[in-house]
Amino acid sequence: MKKQNFENFGNAIFSQLKDYEELNLTFSMEDSLFLRFNEGKSRQVTDVTQGSVHFTYQENNRTFKYQMPYTADVNLNLKRAENALNICREKTKTLPKDSFQVPMENLGESEEIFKGKLPTLEEVTNTLFSKTKGLDFVGCLAMGEQIRANMNSKGQQHWFESENFQIDYSFFTAGQKALKGLYAGREWNSEKFGEQLDLAKAEIEVLKRPEKKLSRGKYKVYLAPAALSEVVDMISWGGVSYSALKRGHCAFKMIHDGKMDFSPKFNLMEDFGLGLTPKFNERGELAPSKLTLVEEGKLENLLINSRTAKEYGIDSNGAGSHEGMRSSRVKTGELKKDEILKTIGNGIYISNLHYLNWSDVQKGRLTGMTRYACFWVENGQVVAPIADLRFDESLYNIFGSNLESVTEFGEIIPHVGSYDQRSLGGKEVPGMIIKDFHFTL
């Protein structure tokens, strides 16, 4: 997909607008290779090239949204777009006026291109299957080019392009205990990936030990980056949204109201310098390259989109429509990797979490379960895998009074969803040692 093709497409549609009409176009495209594998064999190899255009049409304080596929056939695209524009015009007539509609404007131009060094399929399979021969190993590779672009009838233009790969995989034991891993980036390194698989195979041997069942109660835990990532994802479910705050379902309400603080060790920000997703949102509004949300335990900002800004008479900071984090980063600390087990002492090494949900969102309480390779640690040594546990904890304990240490390293964890298309976005997170983590069953 060439940038000029999309510009030509947009300009052709904008030329058909009347003076009182506004139109915003958001474009998504991917050219991806998918490989699904299990038991050391390739099971499915698929190439997917697809694109779509999202229309946001505004007229007389009314808004209508429409989506159409975008193909390599220029004439077909234009024909579909003309039909889409007519549908927008007709449907908009039936809608009520929107008091908080934000007029479109020219917010400038931007371009970000992140080229990668992607492997051949043979390079991937050689490493995968030589390292996992004889093991129950399952997962999916997705790699290729992803594009997001935006134009509106006022003249703004944005372009984001990224070449990347991700291998989302799991090892299983005969007892159906699992260890999950992710290798992702823009530059493939077979040696590095092989080392990661070797470390995983060593952990699998520990998973084969008899399972330890723990009683409910409070334990010292280490949240590995993948586990902490799940908690950070929950914060995007209203935690840092100004609109959610005003509507009464914001997990950061107590810190916003000055009733609670986080630990000075906890720092959270949006950092688009990670290159995981574009700075522009669906309206083409540019977010700051970096935006501090929590600094040394103090709330500095919530995410505010332009619609929320108009509704409450405040300034927008370029957030998306859902006011969730798109490229978050939790700052690292001082705990070294080789000191993690010693620092746990007696407690639980948590590799991953799942089934997270709010148990009391206004108090920042969430519940969830341990997942995959989680281990009981005794006297600084891994002893045994644990039976699954459910927890119910407060963000103000996790990131507040019970936060003891933050690792000096972080891991970049991209979103790996591929329901309609490959996802963009993700986060960089460290690991954390937390005392008195509450498990309910």
- Among 438, 436, 426, CA closest to 226: 426
Q: Which long-range contacts (CB under 8 A, 24 or more apart) does 190-197 make?
A: 190/119, 190/123, 190/126, 190/127, 193/127, 193/167, 194/127, 194/131, 197/127, 197/128, 197/131, 197/132
Provide the sign of the torsion angle of the four alpha carbons 146, 150, 151, 156, taken in this order: negative
**Residue 170: count of CB within 10 angstroms of its CB:** 16
> Given a cut of 70, is residue 364 above it in pLDDT?
yes
- Express each pLDDT in 53-107 by its tens digit: 999 999 999 999 999 999 999 999 999 999 999 999 999 999 999 999 999 999 9
Among all chains, which residue has been given the structure tokens 């409910």? 216
Local structure of residue 419 (DSSP, 8 states): S
Token pair, residue 136, equals: 């129950």
Please report how the helices 3-14 and 74-92 are oriented relative to each other, as an axis angle in degrees rounded to 10: 40
pLDDT-based confidence at 431, cuts 50/70/90? very high
- Express each pLDDT in 9-35 by its tens digit: 999 999 999 999 999 999 999 999 999
**Residue 406: count of CB within 10 angstroms of its CB:** 24
- Express each pLDDT in 138-177 by its tens digit: 999 999 999 999 999 999 999 999 999 999 999 999 888 9
> Given a cut of 80, is residue 1 above it in pLDDT?
no
Cα 96 to Cα 92: distance, rounded to the nearest angstrom: 8
Percent of the chain clearing pLDDT 70 (strictly above): 100
Domain spans, the chain:
3-207, 217-282+289-301+327-439
pTM: 0.95
pLDDT for residue 175: 86
- Express each pLDDT in 292-307 by its tens digit: 999 999 999 999 999 9
pLDDT-based confidence at 323, cuts 50/70/90? very high
Token pair, residue 82, equals: 């003309």
pLDDT for residue 302: 98
- Express each pLDDT in 404-415 by its tens digit: 999 999 999 999
> Given a cut of 70, is residue 380 above it in pLDDT?
yes
CATH code for 3-207? 3.30.2290.10
Helices (H), 252-298: 253-256
Percent of the chain clearing pLDDT 90 (strictly above): 95
Cα 194 to Cα 149: distance, rounded to the nearest angstrom: 36
Token pair, residue 224, equals: 């590995």
pLDDT for residue 441: 86
Asked whether the beta carbons of 25 and 78 are under 8 A apart, the reply is no
